[in-house]
Structure 1
Amino acid sequence: AIEAAAWAAVIGTALTALFIIAVYRLMGLLATAALACYGLLSYAALAALGATLTLPGLAGFVMAIGMAVDANVLVFERAREEHATRSRPSPRSALTAGFRAALSAIADSNITTLIAAALLFTFSSGPVRGFSVTLGIGVLASMISALLITRVFAEYAVGRPAVLRRPRITGVANTGWVRSRLQRRDPFLMRHPRRWLAASAAVLVLAASGIVIRGLDFGIEFTGGRLIEYSAGTPVDPDRARAALADAGFPRAVVQSSGDTALTVRAEHLTNAEEAGVTETIRSLGGETKKIRDELIGPSLGDELRRHALIALCLALGAQLLYLAVRFRWMFGTAAVGALAHDVVILIGVFAWLGKPIDGVFLAALLTVIGYSVNDSVVLFDRVRELLARDHITPLSRVTNQAILQTLPRTVNTGMGAALILTALTVLADDTLTDFALALLIGLAVGTYSSVFTAAPLTIELHPRRRRKE
């Protein structure tokens, strides 16, 4: 699993770097170098703490990579806007303005994430706490990477004479095909906000019906099971043992090796006859095999989820709602949390329809999706707030639509960067990481949709003085 994840991470990160460089040229190359520094900072901090990188911890690390990429994309897109309006005639001045304009969105999205990480760490335990540790470290490292390292690299580069003679190589002096197409067409997406809310409600009902009809297939961590430890006569490859047990009718058995000949099998509640079948399968692979431990195990995450993780999650959402209400308006915070609930229900419903297990891997993915969803909404609402401060006459639907069109290039480019890494994990990693990456891909798609077509229409409907005829 570690080897597969490493290859997937290397290939996915390389594809993301190539994509960022293709879109933002020189700035993309410098951002890639800054992301390498981010990885080094995060690894150094985890090593200093002596942390063990579990799968939930990996989820926090992946989410922080996404936020680091997003921060760079935000800056570069704002710089493109400044240069396109010709209010900043040179790439250097446009870049400086881009950093200044993107600072509030970067700060708000990172602060809301740090609030959630702090509360999850304080009130939870086990894998959820591991997620919060790597997430908090990753967010701080990503802010240093985007706001300090990238800025130093970028401002040094755009001041070179060769760059000044050819400003288009910076990637800031051109608008990009997404922004150019949106400027030509200027679609009014928020003309009928209730239609978007109706579509979101329909998808929500479809997903929730999967939970009711198919039910949730809770994994061993939630339901408990049986743990059997063997001492084999010859070394047994865990992959072969896992495949053999799947063929024997135990596809969800967790197989781990501890030493050359020691093998541990963890499965759901087994009858004595089923236990004999597991033992016979292991014996067929390892020759003379002794059973040295056989015990029932209780649910390790079920009680934690009910008592600790769920409480921590509710507190984190409440704190995020309060922060957004103070920084923006109450309707923005309510819409962001509403979109977040929409994303969570849909992700759980999709896994119910697919028959995928709800286990520790899914919990890690769900926490990551929650962070992505809030981050997307914060970026959009930051632009709405900025436009409202300059324009008190235009109806909110028009202002929100303008904000969507202005932030859509950032949404597309950030989503593509994250999707490349997750697709590599889905295709190249083993079964466990495949479910993890699949959940993140679904969450990424749903979160991107909901920030634009659920949170934005909900904000318009919640506004007390919204004009009904526009």
Structure 2
Amino acid sequence: MPGVISRLYRGDIDIDFVGKRRLWYSLSAFLMVVSILGIVIHGLTLGVEFRGGSVIDFARTPGSSVEQVRETVRDVVGHDPIVQQAGPNWRVTTQSLDGDEVSKIQKTVSQRFGVSEQQVSSQVIGASWGGEVSQKAWVGLAVFMIAVMLYLSVAFEWRMALAAIVALVHDLVITAGVYAWTGFEVTPATMLGFLTILGYSLYDAVVVFDMIKEVTAKLGTSAKMTYTQAANNALSHTLIRSLNTSLTAILPVAAILFVGTTLLGAGTLKDLSLALFVGMIVGTYSSLCVATPILVTLKEREPKWQALAQRVHAKEASAAKAAARTAKEPVSAGSQNTTTPPADKRKKS
């Protein structure tokens, strides 16, 4: 294992990412179908900032649990609220409530958990404001995608821009599917997480594309490798860099997600950390196994690279035939080394 890792660091291991493109496409298609089914069946649990509603905060008391708080508020409002730990407080999100319902909740919570009514704060967020937040989030996402397309088209080419956009959409759909299946709330913090992972995935793709551009720029009419082989070679040299970058970024995010939300009870952190955790993993995968194979598929259709591939394959076939003929040729008689014993010289008596 240490030998494999050292070879990986030196770039001595060539992994045929592009040659296994059907495997990657099948895996990505499966993940996207599962994600879309989750979104269609369960839908996204939008936070109060998007759909509007009422937010009630009060201090956590010893012995209180999420289920107890949910049951207490449900008895008043008639539906299951969303209960989260927000530091030392409970944060309860419900549908929009009027003043009488809020007062009733304050009294019920005060009696059940032993907190004063003044310590139970409430906030009502209108649906129109939530709709405005949603609209701005979609506008921000659209502007980001357009900016990415323009930048990559100018810095590289439109094929790389298209491959990167497909990878970004792939990352967004799968991350949203995880939120749909797990039931995590989608809040403004989640949207920030989505934009962050898009930027991270784009960074990873740009690093890979830049190496591919550098390697393929040296290919001429007498090149000994095709565009596909050159792209695989570039991936092998950037693989360890991508893995190191991803690992160092995922470890602190995992600490926030699992330690911060589980041990420290900072429930609001999971809205951001889950998007980052899933998005970074999927983004690393997509930059290597989705964006690059798509780019190579598009580039292989260009006459320039098709002609180069034909020449390289012809040279490889000719070399293979020559090697086969050499292996089958018998050893000539003249090349055999024969030795004759020396004459037996006897003295005549």
Q: 1:223: Cα distance to partner? A: 1.0
Helix, strand or coil at the partner of 1:454: helix
**Offset, 1:319:** 1.7
Report which stretch shifted further, 334-343 or 417-426.
417-426
Question: Would you say 1:432 and 2:268 are equivalent positions?
Answer: yes
* 1:252 is the counterpart of 2:82: yes
- When residues 336 and 265 of structure 1 are mapped into structure 2, their CA distance, relative to the original with a 3 A threshold, is closer
CA distance in 1, matches of 2:219, 2:145: 31
- Give, in angstroms, the shift of residue 354 of structure 1: 1.3
Q: Give the Cα separation in 1 of the matches to 2:62 and 2:87.
A: 10
TM-score (norm 2): 0.71
Say whether the 8 Å CA contact 2:189–2:272 is kept in structure 1: yes
Corresponding residue of 1:302: 131
| Counterpart-to-counterpart distance in 1, 2:18 and 2:86 | 52
The aligned residue for residue 267 of structure 1 is 93
Higher percent of residues as helix = 1
CA distance in 1 between counterparts of 2:87 and 2:9 reads 55
1:314 paired residue number: 142
Q: 1:184-195 alignment to 2 at 5 Å?
A: 185-195=13-23
Match of 2:248 in 1: 417
State the distance in 1 between where 2:26 and 2:86 align.
47
Counterpart in the other structure of 2:288 = 452
Query: 1:245–1:278: 8 Å Cα contact kept in structure 2?
Result: no
C-alpha displacement of 1:274? 6.9
Matches of 2:23 and 2:286, distance apart in 1: 13
Residue 112 of structure 2 is aligned to residue 284 of structure 1: yes
- TM alignment of 1:336-355, pairs within 5 A: 336-355=164-183
Other structure's SS at 2:54 match: strand
- Structure 1 residue 420 displacement after superposition: 1.3
Percent of residue pairs identical? 30
> Are the equivalent residues in 1 in contact too, given 2:149–2:161 (CA < 8 A)?
yes
Cα distance in 2, alignment partners of residues 255 and 432 from structure 1: 7
- Please name the residue that 2:347 is paired with: none
Q: In the aligned structure 2, how far is the partner of 1:434 from the partner of 1:461?
A: 38
Report the Cα distance in structure 2 between the residues aligned to 1:355 and 1:192, rounded to whole angstroms.
34
Runs of at least 5 residues in structure 1 that lack an aligned partner in the other structure: 1-173, 231-235
Q: TM-score, normalised by structure 1?
A: 0.54
Distance of 1:427 and 1:257 partners within structure 2: 15
In 1, Cα distance between the equivalents of 2:55 and 2:272? 24
Distance change in 2, residues 1:238/1:361 (3 Å): farther
Q: Distance in 1 between matches of 2:23 and 2:90?
A: 53
Q: 2:153 aligns with which of 303, 308, 325?
A: 325
User: Aligned equivalents of 2:115 and 2:285: distance in 1?
Assistant: 54
Determine if the alignment matches structure 1 residue 402 to structure 2 residue 233.
yes
Aligned to 1:348, the other structure's residue is in SS state helix
Q: Which amino acid aligns with 2:133?
A: E
Q: Counterpart in 2 of 1:213?
A: 41
SS in 1 for 2:95: coil
Q: Superposition pairs for residues 117-266 of structure 1, below 5 Å?
A: 177=6, 179-180=8-9, 183=12, 185-227=13-55, 236-237=59-60, 243=66, 244-246=68-70, 248=72, 249=74, 252-253=82-83
Residue number among 377, 380, 386 corresponding to 2:205 in the alignment: 377
- Name the count of aligned residue pairs: 287
Q: How many angstroms apart in 2 are the aligned matches of 1:426 and 1:293? A: 27
Bigger-Rg structure (1/2):
2
1:322, distance to aligned residue in structure 2 (A): 1.2
Deviation at 1:265, TM superposition (A): 5.9
Question: SS of the residue aligned with 1:267?
Answer: strand
* Aligned mate of 1:461, from 297, 301, 311: 297
